Amino acid sequence: MFVALFLMCCGILGIVYRRTLIAMLISVELIMNGAGLNFVVINRFLYPERVNGQVFTLFIMGIAAAEAAIALAIIILIFRRFKKIEADTLKEMKD
Amino acid sequence: MLLADIVFVIIVLITMAGATMTVLSGSLIYALMGLIATMFGIAGLYIYLSAPFIAMMQILIYVGAISILIAFAIMLAGPMFKRPKEWTKPIKFISGVITALITFILFISVIMRAEWKGLKAEPVKTTTSDLGRALFDKFMLPFELISLLIVISIIGAIMIALYSRKER
């Protein structure tokens, strides 16, 4: 439980702190892992006779896979167009 | 101290060290290595939580698929040694730490209020067949929606790649 919380806080810190888009995506993966671990922990310790938490963790894994695929495609597209993946240098859509 | 406790502590340490390395390291490749270490640690934690199927899927999907995908993206994004380091301004680091600490304290205070009844319970017997039965019985609609979502995301990724190819 504490490990899951630690993971989630690391993910939030990473989103704020890192510079590139890929690092932000890695941080999002950390947050999703923390959420899945939380689901399994709560399922194990609060409702040990059901399997709902594990099923939801499977769903989270599927969603994370889809999200990673789409986000990486978009990042590659951005890199091809602007030749950089730093988030604070992408100013074209700001105005 | 039992052997299981020692292994559990080692797994927790691997997980937390991997997460720290993911967030704080200067290079993207090192961050990815930390992410993979974290995934393995979480798989071990799943085994300790008596969910071996989830642990196997964790290794298959995260370590096998998503990490390789991120590695491909990092390599496609050009040579890493020419890039500036990942560290941004320290004001951003301080604000991130403050946000993370606020979230941590909030969640801890909520969790400590919960009633942990299963701590001393017997080892649970939810097997993989139980999981599959629940997946195809109670959660039929979300399961199909997830598969639809994955198909749509694959088509979307292919379309993005195609259009970017056409514009050049």
Instruction: Select from A20, A31, A51 the residue whose CB has the most chain B CBs within 10 Å, as the one to mutate to test that interface.
Output: A51
Residue A52 lies in a domain: yes
CA distance B22 to B3: 29
| Per-residue b or e along B37-71, where b marks 16 or more CB atoms closer than 10 Å to that residue's CB | bbbbbbbbbbbebbbebbbebbeebbbeebbebbe
* Residue whose token pair is 């990942």: B86
Residue A94 lies in a domain: no
**Ranges of H-type helices in chain B:** 3-24, 28-48, 52-58, 67-76, 90-111, 128-137, 140-167
- Give the burial class of A51: count Cβ atoms within 10 A of its Cβ; 0-12 exposed, 13-18 middle, 19 or more buried: buried
Q: Where are the domains of chain B?
A: 1-86, 127-168
Q: Looking at the whole model, is its pTM more than 0.90?
A: no
Place A24 in a pLDDT band, splitting at 50, 70 and 90: confident
CA distance A94 to B16: 37
Chain B, window 18-77: residues with a beta carbon less than 8 angstroms from a chain A beta carbon: 19-20, 22-23, 28, 31-32, 35, 38-39, 42, 45-46, 49-51, 53-54, 57-58, 61-62, 65-66, 69-70, 72-74, 76-77
For the residues of B36-72, what is the DSSP string, one character each? HHHHHHHHHHHHHTT-HHHHHHHIIIIIIIIHHHHHH
Domain count, chain A: 1
Q: What are the tens digits of pLDDT across the range B39-68?
A: 888 888 888 877 888 888 889 988 888 888
What is the C-alpha radius of gyration for chain A, rounded to an integer number of angstroms?
17
B1-86 CATH, one of 1.10.760.10, 1.20.120.1200, 1.10.443.10, 3.40.50.150: 1.20.120.1200
What is residue B102's DSSP assignment? H
Are A12 and B31 a contacting pair at CB < 8 A? no
Residue A35 lies in a domain: yes
ipTM above 0.90, yes or no: no
CA distance A27 to A2: 18
Identify all chain A residues contacting B118, using CB atoms and an 8 Å cutoff. Answer: 44-48
Q: What are the tens digits of pLDDT across the range A61-73?
A: 888 888 888 888 8
Question: In this structure, what token pair is assigned to residue B22?
Answer: 């993911």
Residue A95 lies in a domain: no
Residue A47 lies in a domain: yes
CA distance B44 to B7: 9
Task: List the CATH number of the domain containing A84.
Answer: 1.10.287.3510
Domain that includes residue A60, residue range: 2-89
Q: What are the tens digits of pLDDT across the range B119-142?
A: 555 566 667 777 788 778 888 888
Q: What is the pLDDT of residue B123?
A: 62
Q: What is the pLDDT of residue B63?
A: 87
